[in-house]
Amino acid sequence: MAGILFSFRKGRMSDMTDDVFMLGGKSLTSRIFVGTGKYPDNKLIPAVVKAAGAQVATVALRRVNWDSDEGNLTKFVPDGCTLLPNTSGARTAEEAVRIARLARAAGCGNWIKIEVIADQKYLMPDNDETLKATGILVRQGFVVFPYICPEVMCAKRLQEAGAAAVMPLGAPIGSNLGLRTRELLKILIDEIDVPVIVDAGIGAPSHAAEAMELGAAAVLLNTGISSARDPVGMAKAFGLAVRAGRLAYLSGLGPVSHAANASSPLTGFLDE
């Protein structure tokens, strides 16, 4: 919704320095969030963050090997980039809550992305358990980012429960299929007041641009970068796509027509 206010402002938005994104008490100027999983070398993580211009990076607590510098993924997220630990592996609200508390106790801050996935075949999130975990963790002082199947009633309840944003999926995790849930995402973007951050399924920069053109507040992706032949190059491409999509949204995309339009309107003759 905030984007619409910007588009009525006087002056050009081409450098988007005014397009500040308030999230969880932080002021961000980048709308691309990246993951830190599936890389063949953890040294790629800071390179990817830099190339994408990301200011938020997620880390799966389940993979963090606190005993080893090389295995401690949190050490690869550069300073200046906010760590967003996620509860991947949790199959119930209770497991998600325990992981969140572990993350906070380990010094990862109080931001937490809730991933409650009881389905290991398709990796579909459990919206009900996610809602439960959100309520508990908001009350315990966390800044909560719930990952959900895009369902507007669930998103409204998450908003009421105090979630900092909602993170609906575009397509299954790891699928790189793009915005298969496009129509449902549009509903959330229209009806939900907290930021809508499209997460999962974004496989190509065009998908990321599309999400931003629809009016998403931000996007989160991991596999789209990690599975590329040149992850750093791809991260840069995604960063540019998110900026392009956001600028397109702020500049007001033209109407889509299914028929050829003459440049003079049909009824223009009445005004002659």
Partner 1 sequence: MGFYEYMEPYRNFDFQGFVGHVTDGDVLRALSKESLSPLDFLTLLSPRAAGHLEAMAVRAREITIRQFGRVIFMFAPLYLANYCVNRCAYCGFNAGNSIQRNALSLGQVEEEARAIAKTGMRDILFLTGESRKESSPDYMRDCVGVLKKYFANIALEVYPLETEEYKMLAGAGVDGFTMFQECYDEKRYAEVHLGGPKRNYRYRLDAPERACRAGMRCVNLGALLGLYEFTSEAFFTGLHVFYLQHRYDACDFAVSLPRLCPHIGSFEPYRAVTDREIVRNILALRLFLPRAGITVSTREKPAFRDHLIGLGVTKMSAGSSTEVGGYANHTTDDQFDVSDKRSVPEVLAAIRRKGWLPVFKDWQTLEKDAVV
User: Which residues are catalytic, by number?
Assistant: 113
How many residues sit close enough to partner 1 to count as binding (CB under 8 A)? 32
* Beta carbons within 10 angstroms of residue 212's beta carbon: 26
Residue 98 found at the interface with partner 1 (CB under 8 A) = yes
What stretch of H or E contains 60? strand 56-60
Looking at beta carbons only, is 11 or 40 nearer to partner 1? 40
Element of type H or E holding 59: strand 56-60
Give the Cβ contact number of residue 259 at 10 Å: 4
* 119 binds partner 1 per the rule CB under 8 A: yes
Tell me which residues in 148-177 interact with partner 1 (CB under 8 A).
174-176
| 123 makes contact with partner 1 (CB under 8 A) | yes
The Cα 203–Cα 221 span in angstroms is 8
Inter-residue contact 185 to 152 (CB < 8 Å)? no
Q: What Rg value do the Cα atoms of the chain yield, rounded?
A: 19
> Binding partner 1 by CB under 8 A: which of 67, 79, 271, 272?
67
End-to-end CA distance of the chain: 39
Shortest Cβ distance from residue 38 to partner 1 (Å)? Answer: 2
Min dist. Cβ of residue 127 to partner 1 (A): 15
In the complex, the smallest distance separating the C-beta of residue 267 from partner 1, rounded to whole angstroms, is 49
Binding residues for partner 1, per CB under 8 A? 37-42, 62-65, 67-68, 71, 89, 91, 95, 98-99, 101-102, 118-123, 174-176, 223, 226-227
